[in-house]
Structure 1
Amino acid sequence: MTRLTRPDGTEIAYRDHTPPRPRQQILLLHGLAGRMAEWDDLVPRLLADGHRVVLYDARGHGESTRRPATVTRAAHVADAMTLIRELSLAPVTLIGQSLGGHTAMLLASAYPDLVRSLILVEAGPAGPSPNLPYLIASWLADWHPLDRATMVESISELATHAYWREWTAVRCPTLLVQGENGTMRATEPTDMLAARPTATHHTVVPDAGHDVHLDQPERLYEAIAAHIRFLKQPSAGDARR
């Protein structure tokens, strides 16, 4: 476990698994109320394929600062961007679930030179969602490992904003992974493909809910491995699979 201290005093806990001569650089971003340990099933599979894998606890989560000074979308993006630059991960493949996927999408939009490809697991630009803070507060009512107010504040911007402009600005090859029983809005995947029809692929994982990485880790790995193989094709950034 290593820690990165941000200018606002927030400490970001991360792990860096680096094999000799890594094939790809991968950064894993967990969702709201999650932690990097959620990727424990996926990490050894990616390492076995020869990839460098970095994962971290987002601010307010896990071993990172529990009550950071700010939890804005911009702060989360800046944390991930700093890790990429400090650890020389660019061009990186971002794999993010739920709110972590949203962070990854915003980063790919704002810093296209840092990102080789994007894998969004149950994550997209839809919004606004006015009831979201109330739903999250109710969901976390009995959770003690997390600060509930910090979690609610972390998603406050999603209650009032949609992020379709950022989605259409993404330029790298993208895989959208949806759980068969997930929580994405019914038309969101179709709308995402319509708004950005090139270099985007959509796959649905059977028997999985919102936490695809926990419900069906092997099937998620297979989808990720296929996407990474696709990146080797000369036309990967030019045509939709």
Structure 2
Amino acid sequence: MPIITVNHKQVHIQELNKGAEQAVVLIHGMFSNLSIYYFNIAPMLAKHFHVVMYDLKSHGMSERFIDGYDLESMSSDLLALMDVLNLKKVHLAGYSFGGLIALKTALKAPDLVSQLVVIEAPDPQDEKARNIIDEYSKEFLEHYVANFTDTTKVQMGKRQMEKNHRMYEFLFEKTSIKADMIREKHFLSEANFSGLHIPTLLLYGAESNCRPTGEWLKTQITESELELIPGDHNVPIQEPVRIAETIVHFLSQSLSNPLTQNHG
């Protein structure tokens, strides 16, 4: 498992099709890891692009840290990773909180982002994610894994469950994650999207509680399009093939030899 050093931090990454003309960096959400892309979405994107995935700090196999979960820090981590990997300009795709990281990075360094894909980015004012932190228990994790995180359709073993439980306990009890998320409550309402001229695809579940945020972003980002996918907030798990095909179709316009088939 490749572990690289970025700003004195150990970061777990995975890359596919490194020789491709263009790169796509995939950002997972809070309380997840890069596996949400690895088994289904990333291989489809890798038929056309250099795909880069990484575990956010204290997630997956990346090093644990007690602070730095605000969007400014997370965006800085991403830009530093791109620098280490010598990625001059990339497509960014982020899911859930990763979508907010992608938006923050595009606003912060627009010259480094070719196209943007925002998947189910929530309104940070929504209390639901912070309630998860308050209500967390091992039983909650077992229920969550059984219902929402089965990306491989393989039952999670006891050892992996214990490992994930320790990670969640660390995140929720030892870090500044909740305080940092609260500090970002007004990120969307305070961001200036009028100057963001990056082609943006907004992917949201048709039945998702985050759908109004996607519809609002469509009114704020000039060069954006909104596509609704059957499902709720967990659409990358529910419809990974549809998500991958839609992203490929959107990004293909930037390739030297654009795809001609309809990916629906």
Work out whether the TM-score is over 0.5. Answer: yes
**Counterpart of 1:15 in structure 2: which amino acid?**
Q
**Counterpart of 1:10 in structure 2: which amino acid?**
K
Contact 2:27 2:34 (C-alpha < 8 Å) held by counterparts: yes
SS in 2 for 1:155: helix
Higher mean alpha-carbon deviation, 212-221 vs 165-174, is at 165-174
Gaps of 5+ in 2: 142-164, 257-264
Distance in 1 (CA, whole Å) between partners of 2:129 and 2:206 is 25
| Counterpart position of 1:39 | 37
For residues 35-81 of structure 1, what are the alpha-carbon distances to aligned partners after superposition, in whole Å with 9 as ceiling and x for unaligned?
011112111111223x1011000012111123344222211101111
187, 194, 202: which one pairs with 1:168?
A: 194
63, 66, 73: which one pairs with 1:65?
A: 63
| Counterpart position of 2:223 | 199
Q: CA deviation at 1:17?
A: 2.2
Say whether residues 1:4 and 2:30 are aligned partners: no
SS in 2 for 1:221: helix
Contact 1:127 1:163 (C-alpha < 8 Å) held by counterparts: no
Q: CA deviation at 1:85?
A: 1.7
Contact 1:176 1:202 (C-alpha < 8 Å) held by counterparts: yes
For residues 149-170 of structure 1, what are the alpha-carbon distances to aligned partners after superposition, in whole Å with 9 as ceiling and x for unaligned?
3343452323354445243342
Q: Label 1:65 to 1:163 Cα distance change in 2 as closer, same or farther (>3 A).
A: farther
**Counterpart of 1:194 in structure 2: which amino acid?**
T
SS in 1 for 2:191: helix
Counterparts of residues 69-80 of structure 1 (less than 5 Å): 69-80=67-78
Gaps of 5+ in 1: 234-241
Normalised by the length of structure 1, the TM-score is 0.83
SS in 2 for 1:177: strand
| Counterpart position of 2:147 | none
Q: CA deviation at 1:213?
A: 1.2
For residues 93-144 of structure 1, what are the alpha-carbon distances to aligned partners after superposition, in whole Å with 9 as ceiling and x for unaligned?
00100011100100000001110010000015x4434x35641214533341
Distance in 2 (CA, whole Å) between partners of 1:184 and 1:109 is 21
Count of paired positions: 225
Contact 1:133 1:156 (C-alpha < 8 Å) held by counterparts: no
- Aligned Cα RMSD in Å? 2.3
Counterparts of residues 123-142 of structure 1 (less than 5 Å): 123=121, 126-129=123-126, 131-132=127-128, 134-138=130-134, 140-142=136-138
- Runs ≥4 residues deviating over 4 A: none
Matched-pair identity in %: 23
Counterparts of residues 105-144 of structure 1 (less than 5 Å): 105-123=103-121, 126-129=123-126, 131-132=127-128, 134-138=130-134, 140-142=136-138, 143=141, 144=165
Distance in 2 (CA, whole Å) between partners of 1:163 and 1:6 is 31
Distance in 1 (CA, whole Å) between partners of 2:239 and 2:117 is 16
| Counterpart position of 2:156 | none
94, 97, 100: which one pairs with 1:99?
A: 97
**Higher share of residues assigned helix:** 2
SS in 2 for 1:95: strand
Q: Label 1:55 to 1:153 Cα distance change in 2 as closer, same or farther (>3 A).
A: farther
Contact 1:105 1:167 (C-alpha < 8 Å) held by counterparts: no
Choose between structure 1 and 2 for higher RCO, CA contacts under 8 A separated by at least 6 residues: 2
Contact 1:94 1:119 (C-alpha < 8 Å) held by counterparts: yes
**Counterpart of 1:135 in structure 2: which amino acid?**
N
Normalised by the length of structure 2, the TM-score is 0.77
